[in-house]
């Protein structure tokens, strides 16, 4: 999506943009990130001598996969935008390509570990049961492999 910069004016000019943008789903770290609804974008563009400065925010609704239980969950967030686009890096000074800026900021806002909730119990490592939905009958004995030999000491 392009934003027309013709009406921005000379150096020192300012333009306010409020719009909804549709973005295709993203792939990040081998994970599908679904963009649920249109992104609501509200920004101000400032014209400086060497660049265009973008300040504002966008509201985005995403569907992510939980790292513990692998269930999809929906999350929404408001992402603050603060970008400087140098004029020398632009192909056309009359229009600004905004899609790349939006995608980059969405990816940067993703958590390192996506969790459906802080209390998520994840999956049983033996049978794969979702422990949020109920307990399983597996007996899991957690022994530190460095201390395995000490367990044999008490077997005598």
pLDDT tens readout for residues 126-150: 888 888 888 888 877 777 778 777 7
Same domain, 69 and 138: no
Q: Given pLDDT bands bounded at 50, 70 and 90, which one contains residue 156?
A: low
Pair (131, 105) in one structural domain: no
Domains of the chain: total: 2
Q: What pTM, to 2 d.p., does this model score?
A: 0.77
Residues 45, 111 share a domain:
yes
Identify whether residues 29 and 42 lie together within a single domain.
yes
Which domain does 110 fall in, by range?
Answer: 2-120
For residue 52, give the nearest of 20, 89, 19 by alpha carbon. 89
Chain segment 16-54, per-residue pLDDT in tens: 889 888 888 888 777 788 888 889 999 999 988 888 899
What is the spatial distance between Cα 120 and Cα 50, in angstroms, rounded to a whole number?
49
Give me the pLDDT at residue 105, please: 92
Shared domain check, 98 and 126: no
């Amino acid at each position: 999506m392009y934003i027309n910069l013709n009406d921005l004016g000379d150096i020192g000019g300012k333009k306010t943009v409020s719009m909804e943008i549709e973005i295709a789903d993203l792939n990040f770290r081998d994970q599908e990130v679904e963009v649920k609804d249109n992104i609501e974008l509200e920004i101000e563009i400032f014209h400086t001598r060497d660049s265009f400065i973008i300040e504002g925010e966008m509201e985005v609704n995403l569907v992510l996969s939980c790292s513990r239980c692998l269930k999809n969950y929906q999350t929404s967030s408001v992402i603050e935008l603060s970008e400087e686009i140098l004029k020398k890096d632009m192909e056309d000074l009359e229009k600004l390509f905004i899609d790349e800026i939006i995608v980059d900021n969405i990816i940067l806002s993703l958590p390192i570990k996506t969790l459906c909730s802080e209390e998520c119990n994840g999956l049983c490592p033996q049978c794969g049961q979702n422990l949020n939905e109920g307990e399983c009958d597996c007996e899991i004995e957690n022994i530190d492999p460095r201390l395995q030999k000490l367990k044999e000491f008490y077997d005598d």
